[in-house]
Amino acid sequence: MSVTFRSASTRRQKIHLSSVEETICEEPDDLDLRLFDWYKESSDSYSAEIIDEDWIPMFPEPDICKKLPETGIDTSTMQRSLCPWQWRLNHDEHREPKILSEAYCLCRKSRGVSGAFCMPIKREVAVLRRILCNPITGHYEYVREMQTITVGCHSVLPRTQFASSIGEHYSVLFNREI
């Protein structure tokens, strides 16, 4: 059983009643602060590229994939993009934040004549995962977690060989060691 109410601060709170124990459990008062602290800590750390070359595009692809990008003054970023995307909401009741906006790529190949492919751009975001209700405190307990989400789509050329470091290119170009 679940009861929803609004407090004086208009923040939505949920109290869950367990039918077995009749334990009342609610969100901790400092949940927003915990999430903010975790977000600050995680954004200061190094973020590696997340590669997802096995993603599966929509089938059949929408008509926008067959058209050249538009360049008019009133066009959106998505309409001008070589790899258009749309947004969807990712909802998880056991996570804070409960709702994340996530992009998904509409096309498998880049629009135009480049021969490039569309690839999702992934990023790890800090979330708090609800794990249990502490019957002593009456509050939910959360653990820190990183969740990978898609934030956009970009056009990439197909691989023809393994990549080399950018320093190698500059040392050859300027004939000096970097």
Sign of CA pseudo-dihedral 153, 155, 160, 161: negative
Residue 59 lies in a domain: yes
How sure is the predictor about 42, in pLDDT bands with cuts at 50, 70 and 90? Answer: confident
Whether the predicted pLDDT of 36 surpasses 80: yes
Residue 13 lies in a domain: no
Is 60 exceeded by the pLDDT of residue 17? no
What is the reported pLDDT for 12? 44
On whether residue 3 sits in a domain, the answer given is: no
How far apart CA 38 and CA 146 sit, in angstroms, is: 10
CA separation for the pair 108, 118 (Å, rounded) = 5
Domain that holds residue 116: 30-174
Closest CA to 122 of 100, 93, 142: 100
Which tops the pLDDT comparison, 133 or 22?
133
Provide the β-strand partners of residue 14. 4
In-domain check, residue 159: yes
In a domain, 117, yes or no: yes
Quick check: is 49 in a domain? yes
Classified as helix, coil or strand, 82 is coil
Domain for residue 93, yes or no? yes
Checking if the pLDDT of 19 tops 60, the result is no
State the total domains in the chain. Answer: 1
pLDDT band at 114 (very low <50, low <70, confident <90, very high): confident
Residue 32 pLDDT level (bands cut at 50, 70, 90): confident
> Which CATH number do you get for residue 122?
2.10.90.10
Contacts of 29 (CB under 8 A, 6+ apart): none
